[in-house]
Amino acid sequence: MADAGGISTRVLDSLVSAGLLTVEQLASVGEAAAERGVHAGVILSERGLVSAADVASALEHELGVPRVDLTSYAPEDDALALVPADAARSRRALPLFEIEGMLTVAIGDPMDVFALDALAAELALEVEPVLADTDSVAEALAQYYGEAEAPAVPEPDEPVGEAGVAETLSDGADEPVVEASDFFEAPVEVEPAVPVAPSAEPEPDAAPAVPAETIESMAEAVPESAPAVDLDVLAVADARKVAVLVADILEDAVRKGASRIHLLPYKDDFFLVYRVKGALEKAASAPRSLQSALVDGFKAYAKLSDVPATLPALGRVHTKIADRDLVLTCSVVPTIAGQRLVVSFVPYRPEPRSLADLGMTEAEVRALHAMVERGRGILLIAAPVAGGRSSTYYALLHHAAQAGKTVYSVERAVEYELPSVAQVLVNPGSPVPVANYVAAGLRQDTDVVAVDGLQTVEDVHLAVEAAGLGRLVIATFPAADIASAVRRMLDLGVEPHSLASALTLGVGQRLVRLNCPNCTQETDAALARTIPGAPKDITDRAGSGCPNCGKSGFRGVTGIFEVLPFTEPVRSTVASSASRADITAAAAKAGMRPLIASGLARVAAGEVSATELDRVLRFSE
């Protein structure tokens, strides 16, 4: 039905934890979905087992998925270019931004979340959702991708299949014409990614969309000149020559400014394609029988030679190509046509930002540094998707290593390479679960055990066990805040007393956009005065939009934080398996400054607008 780490699996697990689905119903839904070749959401809707509101509640309150206002948030051009128009429309998913191989998309109908695992497999990216208004998503899809073309009406004498598509029924029937949009789509020029007022008129000289090109036309086109990369060497299948070819392809792609390389199998051929400035450019093609040798060459470069061709693979290496210091990520997914490979490049970043640079106060920095240097138990970092929890995670690992601690980190995606930290990248194709890697780290004389992304009850159990052995455990967990994270861990089935005794310090966080310093001006403070705890004389400032900020009014982001020491009263509340509201109340009595107070300080300082804070925390609802 879905891979263990997929968003569908996480949502279904949350529905079971909330008592909305039984384990038996979940198994039945999975069998029916697999048998019919549809996603679980179709079966859930047909059987009336859960409603869209139930799924929305699981996304927001259990998984910490935030809501966004698309009228004040525009997608990035690069993100739009990653998703073909047909794929975005069919799944009703609007791409917003992509960071280090994770694409964040907005969905309007919560049931559409179950279609995102298939989108992730097609794009060879990790896809995470945010929620938005249904009409806003539909309008944005039409704005950025254009209106969908009406399907062609078949001629009366054409035989038509059940889906309404003309089929060829002759003895020597040709295969149906496959459009490029089945694999990728020709680029569509879009407006710069800045918020657009609803009444804004389109530019009169806007460039029309580039028509889609079929794979057949790519295969049959006569090349204008010899390709820069010669794939004929693959016929020799000599490992040394293939390694040289891989190096040549990488250098050619980087020199052309490509951000990704694709190897796309199709019929009897495969295509070598570069993504340059959002557009896909064919570099070369060769018989499909030769593709496996090139895939093996890339896998060897990314240190994935041990992963069989029948399993997905993910590898990451720090390398130097065309005099550029880069991090190369190689993703391989087996398909019915052959292995589909995507290689991406990002500039190498030597070390993460400090906690102070992320936006923490001096007191919060001191508390976390003291915990890393002398503490034990679980240091829990809670934030929703795109909430910046990985940045805090790496800042803490970096400080722990500098403090002379031995650090062992289990990660699903490596954002920074820390030479003094033992970093383990969990391959999606590996049969070994995260919990096994954590257990192995406990046997290596490790002071600090870290897990970027606790997901299952087994993961949490291992973290609790490590804390009980006197280790410091730094772990991230997807949730709206600290109280939500603890409550969801309990819902997963963690024993309350064990969890309460293991938790030592919690960090909740969100990312907010900073006002552009060049165009910030005072605005109506009516919304600011409704912020809980705001003084009556508070002023509100916001960016009006200027060339320096792309007319968005924003320039840069910062974090707002809550830091909770788990005192005995708070632990007692957790041990009683209390509700989220009770845990929040206990945290307030313990003196925790909540996220809204941290955001209010940013608004009062004129750094963040009240509208932006409301977008993130929704205090006006």
The verdict on residue 589 lying in a domain is: yes
Sign of torsion, CA 81 82 85 91?
negative
Q: What are phi and psi of 436, to 5 degrees?
A: -65, -40
Residues 37 and 125 in one domain: yes
Measured between alpha carbons, how far is residue 172 from residues 31, 128, 267 in Å?
Answer: 36, 44, 17
Q: How many CB atoms lie within 10 A of CB 29?
A: 23
Q: Which of 286, 315, 347 is the last residue of a domain?
A: 347
Q: Band the pLDDT of 297: cuts 50, 70, 90.
A: very high
pLDDT in tens, 489-528: 999 999 999 999 999 999 999 999 999 989 999 999 999 9
Place of tokens 């039984």: 22
Look at residue 573 in the predicted model and tell me its pLDDT.
97
Cα-Cα-Cα-Cα dihedral sign, residues 13, 15, 17, 20 = negative
Domain match, 360 and 496 both: yes
Cα separation of 324 and 445, whole Å?
A: 37
Residues 42 and 120 in one domain: yes
Q: Does a structural domain hold residue 206?
A: no
Residue with tokens 């918020």: 195
* Helices and strands, counts by H and E, the chain: 22, 18
User: Residue 521 domain-assigned?
Assistant: no
Q: Would you say residue 172 lies in a domain?
A: no
Residues 327 and 372 in one domain: no
Higher pLDDT, 59 or 535: 535
| pLDDT surpasses 70 at 214 | no
Q: For residue 159, is it within any domain? A: no
Please indicate, yes or no, if residue 212 is contained in any of the structural domains.
no
Answer whether 171's CB lies under 8 Å from 49's CB.
no
CATH of the domain at 234: 3.30.450.90
- Whether 332 and 377 map to the same domain: the answer is no
- DSSP run (H or E) holding 25: helix 23-36
CA geometry: angle 93, 149, 204, nearest 5 deg: 90
| Domains contained in the chain, number | 3
Distance CA 344, CA 250 (A): 10
Q: Is the pLDDT of residue 279 over 60?
A: yes
Handedness of CA 217, 221, 224, 227 (dihedral sign): positive
Verify that 47 and 114 share a domain, yes or no: yes
φ/ψ (deg, to 5) at 49 = -75, -40
Range of the domain at 588: 355-509+559-593
Highest mean predicted confidence (pLDDT) among 131-145, 173-187, 221-235: 131-145
Place of tokens 């073309």: 149
pLDDT at 247 over 60: yes
Confidence at residue 263, expressed as pLDDT on a 0 to 100 scale: 92
Q: What does the pLDDT look like over 538-558, one tens digit per residue? A: 999 999 988 877 788 888 889
Looking at the fold, whether 93 and 48 belong to one and the same domain comes out as yes
Q: How far apart are CA 195 and CA 208, in angstroms?
A: 21
CA dist., res. 575 & res. 501, Å (int)? 8
Write down the mean pLDDT value for the chain.
82
Percent of the chain with pLDDT over 90: 38
**Considering the entire predicted model, what is its pTM?**
0.60
Q: Is 616 helix (H, G, I), strand (E, B) or coil?
A: helix
Is 23 a residue whose pLDDT tops 90?
A: no
For residues 91 and 234, state if they share a domain. no
Could you report the per-residue pLDDT of 72-116, keeping only the tens digit for each? 667 887 788 888 888 899 899 999 887 767 788 999 999 999 999
Question: What does DSSP say about strands 269-276 and 279-287: parallel, antiparallel, or unpaired?
Answer: antiparallel
Full strand arrangement of the beta sheet holding 126-131: 93-99, 102-107, 126-131
**Cα angle, residue 529 at apex, residues 524 and 535 outer, rounded to 5°:** 120
Are 399 and 325 in the same domain? Answer: no
Tell me whether residue 531 is in a domain.
Answer: no
* Statement to judge: residues 409 and 378 lie in one domain: yes
What's the CATH code of the domain at 383? 3.40.50.300
CATH number for position 12: 3.30.300.160
Would you call 332 helix, strand, or coil by DSSP? strand
Last residue of a domain, one of 322, 347, 372: 347
Look at residues 347, 370, 402 and tell me which one is the last residue of a structural domain: 347
Looking at residue 127, its pLDDT comes to 87
Does the pLDDT at position 448 exceed 80? yes
Per-residue pLDDT reduced to its tens digit, 27-42: 888 888 888 888 888 8
Among 419, 378, 377, 426, CA closest to 401? 419
Half-sphere exposure of 150 (CA within 13 A, CB side): 3
Task: Give the phi and the psi of residue 134 in degrees, each rounded to 5.
Answer: -60, -45
Task: Look at residue 183 in the predicted model and tell me its pLDDT.
Answer: 32
On whether the CB atoms of residues 416 and 452 are closer than 8 A, the answer is no
Strands (E) located in 62-216: 93-99, 102-107, 126-131
335 and 461, same structural domain?
no
pLDDT at position 50 is 85
Instruction: Looking at 208-353, list the stretches that DSSP marks H as alpha helix, in order from N- to C-terminal side.
Output: 215-220, 239-255, 291-301
Q: Verify that 288 and 363 share a domain, yes or no.
A: no
Q: What is the pLDDT of residue 360?
A: 94
pLDDT digits (tens, 9 = 90+) for 307-345: 888 888 888 888 999 888 888 989 888 888 888 899 988
Q: Does 502 fall in a domain?
A: yes
